[in-house]
Amino acid sequence: MAQIVKRAYKYRFYPTPEQVSELARTFGCVRLVYNKALEERTRAYTREGRRVSYAESSAALTAWKREEELAFLNGVSCVPLQQALRHPQAAFANFFAKRASYPVFKSRKRSRASAEYTRSAFRWRDGRLWLAKMDGPLDIVWSRPLPEGAEPSTVTVSRDAAGRWFVSLLVEEAIRPLDPSGDVVGVDVGITSLVALSRPIPGVTDQDGKVANPRHERTDRRRLAKAQRSLARKSAGSANRAKARLKVARAHARISDRRRDFLHKLSTRLVHENQVVVIEDLSIRNLVRTHTLARAISDASWRELRSMLEYKARWYGRELVVIDRWFPSSKVCSACGALQKSMPLNIRAWECACGAVHDRDANAAKNILAAGLAER
């Protein structure tokens, strides 16, 4: 039976100069309102020990608009400003529930510029999108179609550090679970190979069940380093420094885009072709403290791969099993179950006393699968 999920479709668009000006003003006002709301909530929490409700924040926004020095807030759509009040509300809820750290203020230079429009602040007609305070529709590049008959409920406009403009359309979509599959797979993440699987998958892995690590950051490292050296030589505040900063941002965007595309394709194949996917519960935060491996671990982006597997398995009726991070998957012989006393990282292949010869990663993937199936 199909399930209804909320799914965001992100597209690139090219605004006109007038739209750029209007969106830039909106971004600035959204950031200001968010910071003022966060300041008020912080003051109430630290000095009075109480929590501020959304109704109080909304009333404060009305009062801010009446102040002479903040009258410019009336020049942009009120909906993104109201939505900006909901974000610190959610951030504090997550903080009090111990799901996140304390909220921080938005910086003009470091924070992502974005504005959120709900249904009353945009018009959607025949595949064209008009935002409040704008005369013409957005020039969107439809890289993939929206689900048939889908009507956006929320539109988020953003500009990344590389100067690219994006619009994200939140729609409700009916996703039908995939037909049951009898295949299961264990996944062991690594650096030399991005992942090793408990069994080879044609078109995805080599004959040993491994997926080569594309090392996107390492591939573009020379280009990124050249752009960063050029940026370091520019005078602060100069136009040339702004251009150099843009080149650095574009180099980072190229790396992250290619990495995300690769992980999406890999996670989709794993979920589509296996009923059960078993992975390890790794502590990435602790692993990146190893300075010799931190750069390679960050480039592999294991956490993003796990996140993709989680929501895709939920969408398509698959099962994702996560085993304990302390399970000695590399030290156990997948043939006889014998536990080795130690297994240094430099040992990539080893022979058990039972005579079985193991590739370290492939053996770990088999043990991860066995442990995951035992926990179900």
- The residues that are catalytic are 188, 280, 361
Alpha-carbon distance of 28 to 7, in angstroms, equals: 27
10 Å CB burial of residue 232 (0-12, 13-18, 19+) is: exposed
Alpha-carbon distance of 322 to 302, in angstroms, equals: 14
For the chain, helix (H) and strand (E) counts, in that order, are: 10, 14
Q: Do residues 118 and 159 touch, judged by C-beta distance below 8 A?
A: no
Q: How many CA atoms lie within 13 A of 259 on its CB side?
A: 24
Q: Do residues 8 and 169 touch, judged by C-beta distance below 8 A?
A: yes
Q: How many CA atoms lie within 13 A of 235 on its CB side?
A: 3
DSSP 341-364: S---TT--EEE-TTS-EEEHHHHH
Alpha-carbon distance of 235 to 222, in angstroms, equals: 23
Alpha-carbon distance of 305 to 263, in angstroms, equals: 6
Q: Do residues 271 and 318 touch, judged by C-beta distance below 8 A?
A: yes
Alpha-carbon distance of 334 to 176, in angstroms, equals: 36
Alpha-carbon distance of 167 to 270, in angstroms, equals: 29
Q: How many CA atoms lie within 13 A of 367 on its CB side?
A: 25
